[in-house]
């Protein structure tokens, strides 16, 4: 079966050995380099998929055009001080490093990435978002079941994610889980800006998640998982002693309508393709 057919059938594709170990290491080193230069002033933005209406701070809302830093919710003591070092406390960095940082730009638009995009008929697709996800040992939180198109909503739905394992992802350290064919179920919600201020999870379809078919997508360092925007997926907390770093980019078809009310806005950067 061709990759295109497999992707259309399952809603995801697992490609082993997509990036070299050296490229994965270089990206993890770059994240550490960026974090060392982050001028943290004690006003954290915490990232929780289960509680995103609470993330309506300007730092989050403006992060579409920035290199911004988000903490694990368990990183703080009752007084609001970081319990560990800054790097070990980070949940992720996002959401425009693929356009603002040369190392992330190269990784996001690698020769193999362009080849894959062409194979999937996505050469024109724009990279609208990127994030470096740390999932640090013992603190890396769960990511609730969601569909990426909820956060990168287009009409029609065109969002496709590329998730790159920078380290081995196992059940123990919180690999991704998904159901083959799950993308054929409706888009449940649209995470958008309210008419006035703030954010809301607008329900489009109230069908419950079907959890029984969820399979762990355990992959080695260097693998790429392509994710259809309508595919429900999640990951469990990292209770192991090993981190599970990953880098993800999300793409959309420039021909699709991208509503103004989407949470993520790209105002100062012109979008570029893969
Ligand atoms: Fe996701």
Instruction: Tell me, in angstroms, the distance from the centre of ligand 1 to residue 151's CA.
Output: 9
Residue-wise pLDDT for 244-273, tens only, equals 999 999 999 999 999 999 999 987 557 888
Closest listed residue to residue 148, CA positions, set 272, 1, 12? 12
**Which sign does the torsion angle of CA 102, 103, 108, 110 carry?**
positive
In the block, tokens 């909503």 appear at 153
Predicted pLDDT at 113: 97
More confident residue, 45 or 215: 215
Confidence of residue 179 (pLDDT cuts 50, 70, 90): very high
Of 183, 163, 145, the closest CA to residue 249 belongs to: 163
Ligand 1 center to 209 CA (angstroms)? 15
Residue-level pLDDT at 48: 61
Mean pLDDT computed over 23-52: 82
% of the chain with per-residue pLDDT over 70: 94
Note the CATH number of domain 3-264: 2.60.120.620
Separation of CA 237 from chain center: 16
Question: How many Å is the maximal CA-CA distance in the chain?
Answer: 55
Once rounded to an integer, what is the mean pLDDT over residues 144-159? Answer: 97
Q: Is the pLDDT of residue 52 over 50?
A: no
Helices 111-119, 3-10: crossing angle, 10 deg rounding:
70
Instruction: Give residue 108 CA to ligand 1 midpoint distance, Å.
Output: 17
pLDDT (mean) for 42-55: 58
CB 4 within 8 A of CB 121: yes
Ligand 1 centroid distance, CA of 146 (Å): 6
Sequence-distant (6+) residues with CB within 8 A of 117 are: 123, 125, 251, 274
Q: Which residue reads 């196992």 in tokens?
A: 170
Nearest one of 133, 118, 120, 116 to 174, comparing CA atoms: 133
The Cα 157–Cα 274 span in angstroms is 18
From CA 187, how far away is CA 164, in angstroms rounded?
24
pLDDT band, residue 53 (cuts 50/70/90): very low
Residue 15 backbone dihedrals phi, psi, to 5 degrees: -120, 110
Distance 188 CA to ligand 1 centre (A): 14
Tens digit of pLDDT for each residue in 88-139? 999 999 999 999 999 999 999 999 999 999 999 999 999 999 999 999 999 9
Centroid of ligand 1 to alpha carbon of 220 (angstroms): 19
Which two structure tokens, joined as six digits, stand for 13? Answer: 């594709």
Distance 79 CA to ligand 1 centre (A): 31
pLDDT tens-digit readout, 204-229: 999 999 999 999 999 999 999 999 99
pLDDT at 54 over 50: no
Going from the Cα of 233 to the center of ligand 1, the distance in angstroms, rounded, reads 6
Question: Looking at the predicted structure, is the pLDDT value of residue 46 above 90?
Answer: no
* Residue 55 confidence (pLDDT): 52
Q: Mean pLDDT for the chain?
A: 92
CA of 252 relative to ligand 1 center, distance in Å: 14
Count of beta carbons in the 10 Å neighbourhood of residue 16: 11
Rounded CA separation 129/126 (Å): 9
Name the least confident of 43-52, 75-84, 133-142, 212-221: 43-52
């Amino acid at each position: 079966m061709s990759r295109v057919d497999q992707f259309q059938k399952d809603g995801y594709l697992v490609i082993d050995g997509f990036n070299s170990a050296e490229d994965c290491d270089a990206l993890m080193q770059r994240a550490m380099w960026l974090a060392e230069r982050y001028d943290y002033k004690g006003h954290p933005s915490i990232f929780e998929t289960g509680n995103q209406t609470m993330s309506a701070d300007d730092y989050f809302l403006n992060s579409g055009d920035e290199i911004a830093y988000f903490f694990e919710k368990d990183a703080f003591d009752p007084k609001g001080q970081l319990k560990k070092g800054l790097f070990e406390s980070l949940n992720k960095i996002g959401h425009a490093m693929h356009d603002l940082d040369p190392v992330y730009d190269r990784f996001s638009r690698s020769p193999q990435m362009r080849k894959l995009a062409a194979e999937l008929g996505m050469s024109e697709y724009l990279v609208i978002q990127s994030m470096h996800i740390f999932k640090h040992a013992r603190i890396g939180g769960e990511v609730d079941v969601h569909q990426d198109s909820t956060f990168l909503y287009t009409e029609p739905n065109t969002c496709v994610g590329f998730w790159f394992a920078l380290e081995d992802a196992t059940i123990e350290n919180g690999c991704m889980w998904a159901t083959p064919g799950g993308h054929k179920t409706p888009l449940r919600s649209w995470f958008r800006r309210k008419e006035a201020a703030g954010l809301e999870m607008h329900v489009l379809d109230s069908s419950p998640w079907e959890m029984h078919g969820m399979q762990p997508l355990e992959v080695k360092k260097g693998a790429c998982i392509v994710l259809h925007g309508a595919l429900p997926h999640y990951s469990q907390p990292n209770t192991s002693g090993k981190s599970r770093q990953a880098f993800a980019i999300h793409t959309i078809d420039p021909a699709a309508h991208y509503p103004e009310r989407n949470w993520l806005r790209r105002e100062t950067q012109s979008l570029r393709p893969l």
